[in-house]
Copies of this chain bind each other. A is one copy, B any other.
Amino acid sequence: MGRRDLTPESIVRLEADAVVVLDQRRLPDEEVELRCASAAEVADAIRALAIRGAPAIGVAAAYGLALAAQQGKDLDAAYDMLASSRPTAVNLRWALDEVRDDPTPARARGLHEVEVERCRSMGQNAVALLAERAAQAAPLHVLTHCNTGALATGGYGSALGAIRTAWEAGLVGHVWVGETRPLLQGARLTAWELEALGIPFSVIVDGAAGSLMAAGDVDAVLTGADRIATNGDVANKVGTYGLAVAAARHEIPFHVVAPTSTLDPSASTGGHIPIEERDPAEISTRFPAHNPAFDVTPADLVSTIVTEEGVHRAPYESSLPSPVRVVS
């Protein structure tokens, strides 16, 4: 698999006897695949971040359920195992629910195709939005956090897909990539994707975003989301909230780009979103550490939420769509 060929199937796919994922823990140093021979192994791969990104783990879980069905396993047990592999991204449960009543390979692959197609739609919607901003300050310098590209979504990308579409449209001049501690999804994965796409970028430490904004070097911030409450509060990778606070101070638009599968109709505010606490050893093996993997950005700091359905603005209670079913 060549790195210029980051197809949906190269990121996650269902084979006859396994779900195969590109092992994101080993990027950018090595491009190796991980074969998950059971739903339990898919859950392990999600938990260990071999595959990560809210939409991508939804797709992987759907494939995991289809694999369990192929293998004649207890589907309720497989569902529970996959649904509980990570707590914050709601896409996981959404994708499982989408395929649960008919967990065939065709259905799971259809869901994967729909999620990638949604990314392309989000990209188009974001371009229209960024074109307004670019009219004032083209080409735009945009800042992003974590990885929201093809790797995170099973193909193309949400926020990074939007940046890609906007760059192809001539609107983007440079991408600032927050390295995203502790696991460096920005410095490892987003940088790797941007290099492959030929989009100019610089990695920065997460703490450097504020001074770039103060210097006028950031025209827009784009991030993905792991779960969005009905009031527009957004759970995303830890550090997102601080970016949104700084962006607000500098009146820099802060856009969240995520498919409707990231919307949680059962969460009225961010306070209802469970925040995953990960192993402190990801930060320090020597000293005590506290390692929340996500934070919540309140809706008042979110300029727009871009889904495949359109560009949504406050008040989000009325502007956000419901999660859109793959098979309605």
- Chain A interface residues (CB < 8 Å from chain B): 28, 176, 178-182, 187, 191-192, 195, 201-211, 214, 237-242, 245-246, 249, 275, 280, 283-284, 286-292, 295-296
Q: Which residues of B contact A206 (CB under 8 A)?
A: 181, 205-207, 239
Q: Which residues of B contact A178 (CB under 8 A)?
A: 207
Q: How far is the CA of A210 from the CA of B298 in the complex (A)?
A: 12
Tell me which of B179, B211, B245, B296 contacts A181 (CB under 8 A): B179
Determine whether the beta carbon of B295 is less than 8 Å from that of A210. Answer: yes
Given A28-B286, A187-B287, A211-B292, 16 extra CB contacts under 8 A: A179-B283, A181-B181, A181-B206, A192-B287, A201-B287, A202-B288, A206-B207, A206-B239, A207-B239, A208-B290, A208-B292, A210-B239, A210-B242, A214-B295, A214-B296, A245-B249
Please, could you name 19 A-B residue pairs with CB atoms under 8 Å apart, sorted by A? A178-B207, A179-B284, A191-B284, A201-B287, A202-B290, A203-B288, A205-B239, A206-B206, A207-B238, A207-B242, A207-B295, A208-B292, A208-B295, A209-B242, A210-B242, A211-B275, A211-B295, A242-B246, A245-B246
Top 9 closest A-B pairs, CB basis? A207-B239, A211-B295, A210-B242, A191-B287, A181-B205, A202-B290, A203-B289, A210-B241, A206-B207
Interface residue SS majority, chain A: mixed
Determine whether the beta carbon of A203 is less than 8 Å from that of B249. Answer: no
Q: How far is the CA of A182 from the CA of B288 in the complex (A)?
A: 19
Q: How far is the CA of A271 from the CA of B138 in the complex (A)?
A: 26
Determine whether the beta carbon of B283 is less than 8 Å from that of A203. Answer: yes
Q: How far is the CA of A178 from the CA of B242 in the complex (A)?
A: 13
In the complex, the chain B residue whose C-beta lies closest to that of A191 is B287
Q: Which residues of B contact A176 (CB under 8 A)?
A: 290
Determine whether the beta carbon of B187 is less than 8 Å from that of A284. Answer: yes
Oligomer copy total: 2
Determine whether the beta carbon of A287 is less than 8 Å from that of B203. Answer: yes
Min CB distance A248 to B, Å, is 8
Min CB distance A182 to B, Å, is 5
Determine whether the beta carbon of B284 is less than 8 Å from that of A203. Answer: yes
Determine whether the beta carbon of B203 is less than 8 Å from that of A241. Answer: no
Determine whether the beta carbon of B195 is less than 8 Å from that of A287. Answer: yes
Min CB distance A286 to B, Å, is 6
Q: Which residues of B contact A180 (CB under 8 A)?
A: 207
Determine whether the beta carbon of A205 is less than 8 Å from that of B288. Answer: no
In the complex, the chain B residue whose C-beta lies closest to that of A209 is B242
A201, A202, A280: which has the most chain B beta carbons within 10 Å? Answer: A202
In the complex, the chain B residue whose C-beta lies closest to that of A244 is B210
Q: Which residues of B contact A208 (CB under 8 A)?
A: 238-239, 290-292, 295
Q: How far is the CA of A289 from the CA of B212 in the complex (A)?
A: 13
In the complex, the chain B residue whose C-beta lies closest to that of A249 is B245
Determine whether the beta carbon of B283 is less than 8 Å from that of A205. Answer: yes
Q: Which residues of B contact A291 (CB under 8 A)?
A: 204-205, 208
